[in-house]
Amino acid sequence: MAKSSENYILDTSALISLGSINILEQVSKVFSVTTTNSVIKELEEFAEYDDKYGKIAKNVLKLKSRLTIESCKVTESIKYIEPTDNELYNLALKKKLPLVTDETKFVHHTRHKIEVYFTTLFLIVLTEAKYFTKKGSLDKLEELRDIRNWRNNIIYLITKNQLEQL
């Protein structure tokens, strides 16, 4: 699998989403994935529990060596988001890299300041590039919908509609 030059910053929600549908390894083979020490710490805290998020976090941490882990000083703060997210936001600003998150509040408060996407981006990439079949991707979207409790939300409906057209 060829590695693209594209680099994305992923937050905890994005890593959990990709880990939950077992595509983080593939994504990290195709793209460079960057995150922060604070995100790794959050995942380690999740991993202390044996619930579904704990299990996913453990699997994500197994792929830690595939991620670029950085720290970033917060020089510009958004009051509506958590300190961990502010660090990611500052990293995206500093490195001029796109950020991927499934936190809708994070997206809402940063979308005019940085390039930001939902993790559904990777499902579409891998389907369009024929790494996954359309059916495989639709199944993964259903899994993601369950784990994220998306029900019939906007992200789910728009992505499902697109996948069905591929």
Partner 1 sequence: METEQFNIRMPKDLVQDLDIISKLLKVNKSEWVKTKLAEEVHEEKNKLLMELSTLYANGMISKEKIEKLVGKEVADEMESIKVIAQKSIKQGLEYGKKLRKLHS
Instruction: Give the residue with the Cβ less far from partner 1, 12 or 40.
Output: 12
- Percentages helix, strand, coil for the chain (3-state, rounded to 5) are 60, 10, 30
Q: Can residue 122 be called a binding residue for partner 1 (CB under 8 A)?
A: yes
- Rounded to whole angstroms, the Cα distance separating 6 from 67 reads 13
Walk across the sheet containing 68-70 and list its strands.
Answer: 68-70, 32-36, 7-10, 99-100, 116-117
x/- track of binding to partner 1 for residues 51-90 (CB under 8 A): ----------------------------------------
Binding-site size, partner 1 (CB under 8 A): 33
- Rounded to whole angstroms, the Cα distance separating 147 from 112 reads 28
Q: Which region, judged by CB under 8 A, interacts with partner 1, from 32-40, 56-64, 71-79, 109-117? A: 109-117
Instruction: Give the residue with the Cβ less far from partner 1, 59 or 162.
Output: 162
Q: Can residue 30 be called a binding residue for partner 1 (CB under 8 A)?
A: yes
Footprint of partner 1 (CB under 8 A): 2, 4, 6, 30, 104-105, 107-108, 111, 116-118, 120-131, 151-155, 157-159, 162
